[in-house]
Amino acid sequence: MARRPLIAANWKMNKTIAEARGFCEQLLPDVEELGPDGAEVVVCPPYLALPLVAQLCEGSDVGVAAQNMYFEDSGAFTGEVSAAMLLDAGADGVVLGHSERRQLFGETDGGLAKKVPAALAAGLLPILCVGESEGERERGETEEVLRRQVEADLAEVADEALGGIVIAYEPIWAIGTGKTATAEQANDASAFIRSLVAARNTEAGDLIRIQYGGSVKPANAAELLGQSDIDGALVGGASLDPEDFAAIVTAA
């Protein structure tokens, strides 16, 4: 089954609106040159820059995703943003459960179990992040952690809808550290995640795209993206520079 790789730029809390414009003006011609046979590309700006990025990317092959959302439609939830608001602002997808949100902002599997179906119901592509800490890997608990996260976070998604989401395997010890999982470690973890989805629905196991994230750079992208079970990358640091990010898209 040929799965189109998805390369996503997670800007985190970086770039003003003007900087976001400059990035898009540089990136869009490079992506256009690669044509529709290349990887699918998504930019995940901070909320404030999202409407402008969506406007600049309209009609191009580049999609836009937010970095978080709340599962309720509206109401007294100060500081939160709903799926409908993201759609209205021009988003096509949303990153959910990034390890920084889990570690720094108290994101739980219980909350994610509501966020993933809410995103799907609204027509947003959920990019669900899962991954183990360094200690968990050293203790041999990687598969246990991945199983717990995948099972809990996708508990409320119908089996036949699982193929329509994206999972980013992001070992926490590799995020923003310059340490990258070996291609074998990343592929093994991705294959394991795929097997968890396939156990619920065989077709969804074939369809679901599993990205790798953790210090992906132009220099290591081709090897990681060449693995059989890795269908793209969620890129943090290297996605802030349009040239580096375009090089990763080209590698895919």
DSSP state of 171: -
Q: How far is the CB of 239 from ligand PEP (least distance, A)?
A: 7
- C-alpha–C-alpha distance, residues 129 and 160, integer Å: 20
DSSP state of 75: S
- Is 170 marked active-site? yes
Nearest residue to ligand PEP on Cβ basis:
236
Sole window of 18-26, 120-128, 146-154, 169-177 interacting with ligand PEP (rule: CB under 6 A): 169-177
Q: Which of 63, 171, 237, 242 binds ligand PEP (CB under 6 A)?
A: 237
Burial label for 239, CB within 10 Å (0-12, 13-18, 19+), is buried
Backbone angles phi, psi at 87, to 5 degrees: -60, -45
Report how many residues bind ligand PEP under the rule CB under 6 A.
14
Sole window of 77-85, 187-195, 207-215, 220-228 interacting with ligand PEP (rule: CB under 6 A): 207-215
Q: How far is the CB of 43 from ligand PEP (least distance, A)?
A: 13
- C-alpha–C-alpha distance, residues 221 and 233, integer Å: 8
Residues 103-162 that bind ligand PEP (CB under 6 A): none
Check: CB of residue 107 under 8 Å from CB of residue 146. Answer: no
Which whole-number Å values give the CA distances from 88 to 110, 113, 235, in the listed order?
Answer: 26, 23, 25
Q: How far is the CB of 199 from ligand PEP (least distance, A)?
A: 26
Task: Report if residue 236 touches ligand PEP, rule: CB under 6 A.
Answer: yes
Q: Using the minimum distance from each CB to ligand PEP, give the nearer residue, 63 or 214.
A: 214
Q: Which of 20, 145, 150, 235 binds ligand PEP (CB under 6 A)?
A: 235
- C-alpha–C-alpha distance, residues 232 and 252, integer Å: 7
In terms of DSSP H, where are the helices of 92-173?
99-104, 109-122, 134-138, 142-153
- Is 138 marked active-site? no
Q: Would you please indicate which residues are annotated as catalytic (active-site) residues?
A: 98, 170
Judged by the rule CB under 6 A, the positions of this chain that interact with ligand PEP are 10, 12, 170, 175-176, 213-216, 234-238
